Amino acid sequence: MTAPLSVATDILMGQAQSPTASTADLARKRKAEETAKAFEASFLSTMMQPMFEGISTEAPFGGGQGESMFRSFLTDAIAKQTAKRGGLGIADSIQREMLKLQGLS
């Protein structure tokens, strides 16, 4: 019987967290994770661009204007998959710092 009274007292005193606050925290954590992974994918894509510049392919299945035009899409796709699978660990560090700045753990 004392538990409901204790909860009511905590709510009146402003000490209890509302369920919506924890839901908002979870949403912010998910958004921080998505943002950190997107940043890591962008970073990886930028780092991979020079790696593919020196590669030349021969006809009939490679080369030409089309290949050079779509090469950036390939590096973006590789970078996104790498980040999605754990990447280099950059996203974890960035997410941790983002959450720390927001006062979340």
- Chain centre to alpha carbon of residue 98: 11
Which pLDDT does position 20 carry in this prediction?
62
Which residue has 């912010």 as its token pair? 28
Q: Which residue has the higher pLDDT, 8 or 79?
A: 79
Question: Is the pLDDT reported for residue 9 higher than 50?
Answer: no
Q: Which tokens hold the place of 42? A: 């962008």
Question: Is the pLDDT reported for residue 5 higher than 90?
Answer: no
Q: Which tokens hold the place of 28? A: 């912010």
Which pLDDT does position 17 carry in this prediction?
52
Where are the chain's structural domains?
28-101
Q: List the single range of 2-6, 68-72, 83-87, 97-101 with lowest mean pLDDT.
A: 2-6
Residue 77: what are its φ and ψ, rounded to 5°?
A: -65, -40
